[in-house]
Structure 1
Amino acid sequence: MEQRTITTASDDWLAFYREQSAITNPRQRAGAFDFLPSEAAEISELLQNVLIHNWKIRSAGIVLDERRRLDIETRPVARLLERIDEAATLPWDVERDIERRIVVDCRHFATLLCSILRHRSVPARVRHGFASYLQPGHSQSHVICEYWDAVASRWERFDPDTLQPCADDSRFISADAAWRGIRAGILDPEQFGYAPDLRGAWCVRWEVVRDFAALNRHEMLTFDIWGLNGTYPYDAPLEPGDALLLDEIALQLRDERINFAALRAIYERDSRLRVPRIIHSQPYTTGRTEMVDLTLDGSMTSV
């Protein structure tokens, strides 16, 4: 799918998020969506029947075979739908045994919900940020779905993984908002992290890069690495120019509708942010690092 350059702050801004990306496009498996409910919360209820979060598998002490361990590395929705069908030929409104659910993480729940809503021409997008309701002691990195409420004329946030609405920043704060708060001295960087012993501003800047890619319809895995995130060791401070780049993005996202064309231009021209064809991927389930060609993976159209 060819990316369009948006030059106005009109409904074209929302049209961008109605279109499927290479990742969210269900392709020949779009028929799976035709009999699903229309509301995000109702759709998310059914997603629980076909997907299961890796944390739940771990807490239950279930040992996965190689095929199921690799499912969390699935990027394109079309491939995820293929795996759902391979696991069981049951409709989505039938609860499946754990052994027949695809083991994923929060990003897959959010991306699949986003795909279903876009299929219905509802503007939707994946958002990376931090949730206050997942782990005690800090706001945990998390991925949710945002969709446009045409009646209220605003974005609504819903967590399809835990089935919770995220109406304000006290529950889910987007990565750009967390970055703004830290840089202004309003928020404590130790509030945000990946685990109790992995917290700080560096976690937020990693998620700013991932969130900005998702806002540009590149909905990557939670452990994919490219650009700015591959330049520094995990907790190294940013060079001033790189910090200013994230400052600029975070500032413009405060009024993203007006600044949409400028934000798109920043993403397309800056290799520190733009997802390239070849990325590193480091699944936290295995610890290994590998190079991935996103075109061959089906996650990027050839250019």
Structure 2
Amino acid sequence: MSDKLTDMLEYYRTQSELSDPGDFDYLYEGLPDDIPSLIKAVQNVILHFFWVYTDQNYGISLKDIASTGRDPNEEHNLRKISDRLAKFVAIKDEPIIVPRELIERTVGNCRDFSLLLISILRHKGIPARERSGAASYLHPPPKKFFEDHFVCEYWNEEEQKWFLVDAQIDDFQRKAMKVTLDTCDVPRDEFLGAGLSWTKIREGRIAPEQIGVGPFLGEKFARYKLIQDLASINKIEVMAWEHWGIWSSSEELTPELYEMMDKLAQDIANSGDPEIFFKLKELFENDKRFKVPDNYEYNTANFDY
């Protein structure tokens, strides 16, 4: 193993400010080591906000959760894992490995499922990072649409490669969306990282209307995701609605900027290569178009329910 690969993996073994469980690391005691079991543990902590928007899916809704005195929007906007675990314990002071009722779980989204798994893996000394992109399997076939999504990427020491893991998809969602793929080894043509998303749109291999979320489709969406994934690679595990720098600018992309974004997309798609990873790290830390501003305050997303 090269020195640079060793250094890159060591970087991802350590917690970030956002993934650090803080005083709640004791909740990770007794957790299993295999990925399928860890996914089950993560799902015992979090309910996806939109899947409980009404009671038509799991039999409980955000209104039911609010009726207990909790604020679903507050939980949905929790950025740090330590804050989510504090809420988890406040709801019911029991370990993660103890199964709990749906209404006793915190409210989050795909990013939060991913970050909690990342936090647990890093706690176990396993290199892991967040990836921002788009998934094809969130819509039942035959519709082919790549929806905004986050997954976990971890280093498998035995196989000496990175694996994509979707910690959100439980048995109910698998059936509802007719998901047949292995969520412990998501194919990279089913979850498109931000780099590949941008490249495929630019090359006309994906139509603009086939990828995005809400009004953010095609190139506009992929530009947004590129900055998010660059941040995630640098252990700023962004929430789904965070943005700054070149994304927040109203500046239209010039031919020179397109060339730069095309190269950035290529590098992000190949960020498992240590040489490219360290180049992206330097770019993120020093280029004002991409680095987190000194006065940055993350925005929240609140919904009526």
The answer to whether TM tops 0.5 is yes
**Does 2:132 match 1:128?**
yes
* 1:137 to partner: Cα distance: 4.4
SS in 2 for 1:144: strand
Residue among 180, 185, 190 paired with 2:209:
190
Contact 1:226 1:280 survives alignment (8 Å): no
Shift of 1:103: 0.5
**Aligned CA distance change for structure 1 residues 185 and 117 (closer, same or farther; 3 Å):** same
1:47 counterpart residue number: 42
Deviations 1:234-287 (A, max 9, x none): xx8533343333222222234432222211111111122112243354444339
Confirm or deny: 8 A CA contact 1:225 1:279 kept in the other structure: no
1:2-13, aligned counterparts within 5 Å? 9-13=4-8
Can you list the C-alpha shifts for 1:45-100, whole angstroms capped at 9, x where unaligned?
A: 11222210001111324315363321111111111111110111223233322321
Give the Cα–Cα distance (whole angstroms) in 2 for the partners of residues 254 and 175 of structure 1: 7
Question: Would the alpha carbon gap of residues 184 and 263 (structure 1) be closer, same or farther in structure 2, given more than 3 Å must change?
Answer: same
Deviation, structure 1 residue 186: 2.7
Deviations 1:275-301 (A, max 9, x none): 2243354444339xxxxxxxxxxxxxx
Distance 1:275 1:39 in 2: 34
CA separation in 1, counterparts of 2:220 and 2:204? Answer: 15
Q: Which residue is equivalent to 1:244?
A: 259
2:77 is matched with: 73
Choose the corresponding residue for 1:176, options 182, 195, 202. 195
Q: CA deviation at 1:198?
A: 4.0
Contact 1:144 1:159 in 2 (8 A): yes
1:89 partner letter: D
Q: Is the 8 A contact 1:209 1:229 kept in 2?
A: yes
Distance in structure 2 (CA, Å) of the matches to 1:105 and 1:96: 18
Q: What is the DSSP-based 3-state SS (H/G/I as helix, E as strand, rest coil) of the residue aligned with 1:173?
A: strand
Question: Which residue, out of 223, 227, 241, partners 2:245?
Answer: 227
The 4+ residue runs of structure 1 with deviation greater than 3 A are 239-242, 277-287
Q: 2:167 aligns with which of 160, 181, 195?
A: 160
Q: 1:184 to 1:272 in 2, by over 3 A?
A: same
2:290 to 260, 263, 273: 273
How many Å separate the matches in 1 of 2:217 and 2:269?
24
Residues 198-238 of structure 1, C-alpha deviations (whole Å, 9 max, x = no match): 42211111111111100000001111121122113xxx853
Which residue of structure 2 lines up, in the alignment, with residue 202 of structure 1? Answer: 220
Compare 105-114 and 29-38 and name the one that shifted more: 29-38
State the number of aligned residues.
277
Offset of residue 102 of structure 1 = 0.6
Please, what TM-score do these two structures have when normalized by structure 2?
Answer: 0.84
- Is residue 265 of structure 2 the alignment partner of residue 261 of structure 1? no
Matched letter for residue 93 of structure 1? I
Q: Is the 8 A contact 1:40 1:113 kept in 2?
A: no
1:151 corresponds to 2:166: no
Q: Does residue 103 in structure 1 map to residue 107 in structure 2? A: yes
Q: How far has the Cα of 1:159 moved from its partner? A: 0.3
1:217 is aligned with what amino acid?
A: K
Q: Which has the higher strand share?
A: 1
Identical counterparts, % of pairs: 27
Separation of aligned partners in 1, 2:21 and 2:113: 14
The normalised TM-score by structure 1 is: 0.84
SS at match of 1:165: coil
CA distance in 1, matches of 2:185, 2:166: 7
Residue 122 of structure 1 aligns to a residue whose secondary structure is coil
- Structure 2 SS opposite 1:9: helix
SS across alignment from 2:186: coil
Q: Which residue of 2 aligns with 1:36?
A: 31
Secondary structure at the counterpart of residue 53 of structure 2: helix
Q: Which amino acid aligns with 1:62?
A: L
The 10-residue stretch of structure 1 (35-44 or 159-168) with the greater mean CA deviation from structure 2? 159-168
Q: Which amino acid aligns with 2:109?
A: D
Counterpart-to-counterpart distance in 2, 1:214 and 1:198: 20
Q: Which amino acid aligns with 1:159?
A: D
Q: CA RMSD in A?
A: 2.2
